[in-house]
């Protein structure tokens, strides 16, 4: 594969990233080609030493997603980090996707339960004393407050669960990158 084919495939793999990150990553690999060719290597030798440009693009996407999660800590950054980790390999998707679907389902169920408990508690507190005859006002108000508290607890559990899962995926991504690091070493030897 020649230099242009390698860079074109790498650029296609980086589509969707911020322009500055794409430009920086592409310039880095252009530099690898230029320095290696100045040392007397052919374009095909350099591209073979660098490896598959699609895999390299997935690794760059993963690194950028993990860095964004470290800096921003918001739902969008969490989603980017999760998809970046999942994009590292098809085998990972086969292993992680069923686990992630189960965990996402449990977190979603806790979130729905939190909303339902909160709404039922609020309705019981406000409307209950008016509708129920004879009104056991204190019991209805306390039961409503209890349900609101249970809803807040379920919402907290859902939020903490989502954060912990995102941290676990970021940890997995970093572990994955450490495992892949020996495969990335030849590109460092080109410069």
> pLDDT class for 169, splitting at 50, 70, 90?
confident
Of 54, 51, 67, which Cα lies nearest the Cα of 18?
A: 67
Identify whether 93 is part of a domain: yes
Q: What is the DSSP letter of 72?
A: H
Same domain, 23 and 79: no
User: For 6-32, what is the mean pLDDT?
Assistant: 86
Residue 124 burial (C-beta neighbours within 10 Å; 0-12, 13-18, 19+): buried
Q: Is the pTM of this model over 0.85?
A: no
d(CA 188, CA 22): 19
Residue 183 has pLDDT above 70, yes or no: no
- The token pair that represents 42 in the structure block: 């052919």
User: Looking at residue 69, what is its pLDDT?
Assistant: 67
| 66 is a domain residue | yes
Tens digit of each residue's pLDDT (9 = 90 or more) over 122-143: 999 888 888 877 778 888 889 9
Q: How far apart are CA 141 and CA 180, in angstroms?
A: 58
The C-alpha angle 43, 49, 54, rounded to 5 degrees, equals: 90
100, 151: one domain: yes
Instruction: List, in sequence order, the alpha helices (H) in 14-126.
Output: 19-38, 43-50, 53-72, 75-86, 90-126
Q: Which residues, 6 or more positions from 158, have their beta carbon under 8 angstroms from its beta carbon?
A: 107, 108, 110, 111, 114
Domain that holds residue 24: 1-51
Same domain assignment for residues 36 and 111: no
């Amino acid at each position: 594969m020649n230099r242009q084919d390698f860079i074109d495939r790498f650029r296609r793999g980086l589509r969707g990233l911020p322009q500055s990150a794409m430009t920086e990553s592409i310039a880095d690999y252009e530099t690898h080609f230029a320095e290696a060719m100045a040392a007397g290597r052919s374009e095909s030798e350099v591209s073979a030493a660098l490896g598959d440009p699609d895999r390299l693009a997935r690794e760059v996407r993963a690194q950028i997603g993990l860095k964004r999660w470290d800096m921003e800590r918001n739902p969008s950054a969490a989603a980017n980090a999760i998809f970046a980790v999942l994009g590292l390999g098809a085998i990972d998707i086969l292993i992680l996707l069923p686990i992630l679907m189960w965990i996402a389902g449990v977190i979603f169920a806790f979130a729905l339960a939190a909303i339902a408990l909160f709404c039922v508690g609020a309705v019981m507190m406000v409307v209950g004393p008016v509708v129920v005859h004879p009104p056991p006002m204190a019991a209805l108000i306390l039961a409503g407050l209890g349900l609101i508290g249970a809803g807040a607890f379920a919402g907290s559990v859902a939020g903490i669960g989502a954060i912990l899962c995102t941290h676990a995926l970021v940890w997995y991504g970093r572990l994955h990158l450490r495992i892949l690091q020996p495969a990335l070493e030849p590109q460092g030897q080109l410069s």
